[in-house]
Amino acid sequence: MLQLYGTALRSRLLLGTARYPSPAVLTEAVRAARAEVVTVALRRESGGERAGQGFWSIIRELGVRVLPNTAGCHSVKEAVATAHMAREVFGTSWIKLEVIGEDDTLQPDVFGLTEAARILCAQGFEVFPYTTEDLVVAERLLAAGCRVLMPWGAPIGSGRGLNNPFGLTALRAHFPDVPLIIDAGIGVPSHAARALELGFDAVLINTAVAQARAPAQMAAAFAQAVEAGRAARLAGPMEPRDLAAPSTPVIGTAFRG
């Protein structure tokens, strides 16, 4: 079971809810993914309108937990204010904290991120920070009160997979007891399987499912990949070798002189 701020989850696949062709397709995808947590950006203009009510009816029907996020925020002040509005609208202290520092890559502003995390943790939020694989930043976020980290695999929506396996492997090794969720950049199920093989606890997927030709089918493929990656990690993968090693024993075989 995956433990996030005291909540036990069976699924290690979190699903975003943006960019789906229709609410019906979103519903099918969440069910196919067997996801227990979905992320949602706060829309100030739709909190009390029919669009917001329609989304809530989907969430109630699916029985999933909402992880609101501060997507689109570029400053500490904006992110903190959005988090407070999200807590009021969605009735949860969980918040996926995003403070964007660069528009082309949507790379986190790690300085603003750590400051916003410190403020929100002190105010009772349970923060899921969208961060990089930087070890020093991870230390600062944990010191600020975060108990989960969400490092990027690659830029949001890029589908490039795990751009820095060395850095991500180092992050996992340095923080063996901290839940680590790969967030952003996952494009195909093999990327998700690789993340779990490296020891990450879960992945968050949005664009790769929402923009697939068949979102529900892709969501099911990601669910299978996450399970396979986790099972492989627990089974203990072999270490890579530089030279070949025969799989068939040579001792006792016939030898012709």
Could you tell me the two tokens for 81?
A: 């204010």
Q: How far apart are CA 129 and CA 49, in angstroms?
A: 29
DSSP string, 63-106: TPEEEEE-TT--SHHHHHHHHHHHHHHH--SEEEE--EEETTTT
Work out the widest C-alpha separation in the chain, in whole angstroms.
Answer: 87
Please report the beta strands in the chain, taking only residues with DSSP state E, as ranges in sequence order: 2-4, 7-9, 13-16, 37-41, 65-69, 94-97, 100-102, 107-108, 126-131, 150-151, 181-183, 202-205
Q: Is 96 a catalytic residue?
A: yes
Q: Which residue of the set 12, 87, 96, 194 is catalytic?
A: 96
Coil vs helix vs strand at 107: strand
Could you tell me the two tokens for 158?
A: 């890029």
Active-site residues, by number, are 96
